[in-house]
Chain A
Amino acid sequence: GQQVMQIPQYQHVQEGEDFTTYCNSSTTLSNIQWYKQRPGGHPVFLIQLVKSGEVKKQKRLTFQFGEAKKNSSLHITATQTTDVGTYFCAGLAGTASKLTFGTGTRLQVTL
């Protein structure tokens, strides 16, 4: 079945440093979604990417969908303590197929 892996599993950065998490799917995706889960909370939708090579920005967050639609990345510029949490990608292989969540990357930011 479809597998979605994320690296790294965990990253600890100093506030102000940049952070990137990578998401890789075993199959071509029709779209990819990103979610953030704060400690003790539930996943919250951040963004959806649909087109090959698409890049979207949300303030300090930059999301990219690979040309082959099998990988994606989330880059955070100048991290803040409010960025702490686990970031999940979730891939959809086709219409009416199930959304498969990645393994998640836990981000810790310290002053």
Chain B
Amino acid sequence: KAGVTQTPRYLIKTRGQQVTLSCSPISGHRSVSWYQQTPGQGLQFLFEYFSETQRNKGNFPGRFSGRQFSNSRSEMNVSTLELGDSALYLCASSDRVSETQYFGPGTRLLVL
């Protein structure tokens, strides 16, 4: 089976812009979770979607949003980017909510 894929892999944006990141889970997996990873804060959970419904949410501002499509693919959107949003954004899929996470390679976002 193909692994989790994320696009784009690298992205440079400026403050105030918005960005959309995409994640395609492993075939058959219906749960997709998003994490933000920074050197100082480790792996921070953003949200989890299962069958197009948000099941869990982390402690991030409303500028961070996501959605999941009927084919389980997921997108994450960050509006009004801030410098502090620079990070590696990881997507992970699993076959059930909060089960073993299979991570994608991540999207590295740099906000200037």
Contacts and interface: CB of A to CB of B under 8 A. Distances in A.
Given A42-B90, A42-B103, A43-B90, A101 B98 contact: no
Interface string B24-61: 00000000010100000011110010000001111100
Given A45-B101, A96-B97, A101 B45 contact: yes
Contacts of A1: 59
Interface in B66-112: 90, 92, 97-98, 100-106
Interface of A: 1, 33, 35, 41-45, 48, 88, 90, 92, 95-104
B48 to A, nearest CB: 6
B64 to A, nearest CB: 15
A100 B45 contact: yes
B58 A98 contact: yes
Contacts of B35: 101
6 contacts: A42-B103, A42-B105, A90-B101, A98-B56, A99-B45, A101-B35
A4 to B, nearest CB: 10
A48 B100 contact: yes
Contacts of B43: 43, 88, 101, 104
Interface of B is mostly: strand
Contact of B42 (A44, A97, A98, A104): A104
B101 A96 contact: no
A99 B98 contact: yes
A42 B42 contact: no
A48 B103 CA distance: 16
Given A42-B90, A97-B56, A103 B42 contact: yes
A99 B33 CA distance: 10
Contacts of A43: 43, 90, 92, 101, 103
A6 to B, nearest CB: 9
Nearest to A44: B103
Nearest to B35: A101
Contacts of A48: 100
Nearest to A94: B98
